[in-house]
Chain A
């Protein structure tokens, strides 16, 4: 199995382990005898030199990282609470098409920010294996270190599929609340004041920063939707199919089940520059169906042909109203 091109077989793993051992020992107490032993090990075989030189070169490169950090970093009390930007993109091209704006902060600031434009969506894979999917017009900041994983949702809506790690809690901060993951898939939406959390799987805890609910951390179970403002909190249980509808945005769809035209228009307007305007006279008419989130026109057509309403295009707007007799 382990033929070695005419040379005595040496498993790369073992040699590499020994090379790493030498390299690390050299950083500590190093005596004359050590040097002698090391020299003869190195001279013994080209395999040894290859492994050692390779590790040494890679390890040496990491020194540049230290050199590039500001001096105050070294004076820090502990390395434990330092944040490390952790990011990996899934589908960069798709994000570019969606108008994603990603900002990398180089050291010493270590947060990463991601944002989508109106109508945009983005999928982000964090280095801990968690996935975040951003909906239209959304902005988040991710900061991670060896103790915490924190995402701040500044605006918009995001779906989180979190890799649970009890030693490193994953929290989402939004609208004065903190959602702490206990191994979950959940969606969070905010406009800065109002917060809606939908839990699809697993468990999560919602805590508030305001005093009166501080001691009322709410544990969520799947199927629950929480709506919270600065001083109110309501939990409702939602049937599974309805949850799926609420999360249809992840597939680029909007699913309506017997909602008013105004509510439907509000949803569309989150995704499109062309805004739907509903005549107050028909605002309470109900509609159901599945639509492409980016296609205002499809909604206008349905309104026109299925509901017999009038749709009128204006710059930046589509006005839906009662047909003139």
Chain B
């Protein structure tokens, strides 16, 4: 067994940076945008379970091979498989080979990337996130400052967390958001 902190470290350092290309791959292969977040979540869960036994090395080919397997088995279960999905599947290996260059460019300026991500949050959400993150205020203090109740503040902050994760790792348009 691999210890949980070690798995977490591997997941954050090796897997999350691949999310943007993984999402692009999923978007191109699976024509059901409403379920992409679920799909991603399934892939991550299985990756983590595998890593608990042994950390895959190298990570990237493993991630994409597993993504492909999950995708194929999911589509087999679904009765209707669109033609374009099938033809795309044949190109999966190809797609996983080429890492998108823009991620690297963005990663070069982490500060600006972070700032832009925060800037893209909806106004109230951004305000709550800033007060929490930059001012270090508690939920109660933010509530007092913004004249909102605590549960509303909590809603904004949590929404901010999820949107930020999507922007920082996945894609700039937050998807899989039930709200």
Q: Which of B122-179 contact A (CB under 8 A)?
A: 123, 126-127, 129-136, 138-140, 145, 154, 157-159, 161-162, 164-165, 168-169, 176-178
Q: Which residue of A lies closest to B44 (CB)?
A: A50
Choose one: B7, B116, B131, B134; the contact of A69 (CB below 8 Å). Answer: B134
Which of B20-28, B56-64, B69-77, B81-89 touches A?
Answer: B69-77
Q: Please give the number of chain B residues whose Cβ is less than 8 angstroms from any Cβ of chain A in the complex.
A: 61
Kindly state whether residue A243 has any CB partner on chain B within 8 Å.
Answer: no
13 A-B residue pairings within 8 Å (CB atoms): A3-B78, A12-B37, A13-B37, A28-B138, A46-B48, A49-B8, A50-B44, A50-B45, A59-B164, A65-B134, A79-B134, A84-B119, A127-B119
In the bound complex, do residue A106 and residue B112 qualify as a contact, i.e. CB atoms below 8 Å apart? yes
In the bound complex, do residue B164 and residue A12 qualify as a contact, i.e. CB atoms below 8 Å apart? no
In the bound complex, do residue B41 and residue A58 qualify as a contact, i.e. CB atoms below 8 Å apart? no
- In the complex, which of the residues B47, B111, B129, B145 has the most CB atoms of chain A within 10 Å of its own CB atom? B111
In the bound complex, do residue A66 and residue B119 qualify as a contact, i.e. CB atoms below 8 Å apart? no
Kindly state whether residue A214 has any CB partner on chain B within 8 Å.
Answer: no
Q: A241 — which chain B residues lie within 8 A by C-beta? A: none
In the bound complex, do residue A53 and residue B42 qualify as a contact, i.e. CB atoms below 8 Å apart? no
In the bound complex, do residue B48 and residue A49 qualify as a contact, i.e. CB atoms below 8 Å apart? yes
Q: A79 — which chain B residues lie within 8 A by C-beta? A: 127, 130-131, 134-135, 145
Contact with B along A8-37 (1 / 0, CB 8 A): 001111111100110110011000000000
Kindly state whether residue B12 has any CB partner on chain A within 8 Å.
Answer: yes
Kindly state whether residue A156 has any CB partner on chain B within 8 Å.
Answer: no
Interface residues of A (CB under 8 A from B): 1-7, 10-17, 20-21, 23-24, 27-28, 45-47, 49-51, 53-55, 57-59, 61-66, 68-69, 73-74, 78-80, 82, 84-86, 88, 104, 106-107, 127, 146, 165, 167-168
Interface residues of B (CB under 8 A from A): 4, 7-8, 11-12, 16, 35, 37-38, 40-42, 44-49, 52, 70, 73-74, 77-78, 110-112, 114-116, 118-120, 123, 126-127, 129-136, 138-140, 145, 154, 157-159, 161-162, 164-165, 168-169, 176-178
Task: Other than A6-B73, A11-B178, A12-B176, give 10 A-B pairs with Cβ distance below 8 A.
Answer: A5-B74, A12-B40, A23-B161, A27-B139, A50-B11, A50-B44, A61-B110, A66-B134, A84-B115, A127-B119
Q: Which residue of B lies closest to A15 (CB)?
A: B41
In the bound complex, do residue B129 and residue A46 qualify as a contact, i.e. CB atoms below 8 Å apart? no
Give complex CA distance A84, B127 in Å: 11
List the 5 shortest-distance A-B pairs measured between CB atoms, nearest first: A50-B44, A58-B165, A12-B41, A20-B158, A46-B45
Q: Which residue of B lies closest to A2 (CB)?
A: B38
Q: A21 — which chain B residues lie within 8 A by C-beta? A: 154, 158
Give complex CA distance A88, B116 in Å: 9
Give complex CA distance A59, B158 in Å: 10
Give complex CA distance A57, B126 in Å: 18
- In the complex, which of the residues B44, B73, B164, B169 has the most CB atoms of chain A within 10 Å of its own CB atom? B44
In the bound complex, do residue B45 and residue A80 qualify as a contact, i.e. CB atoms below 8 Å apart? no
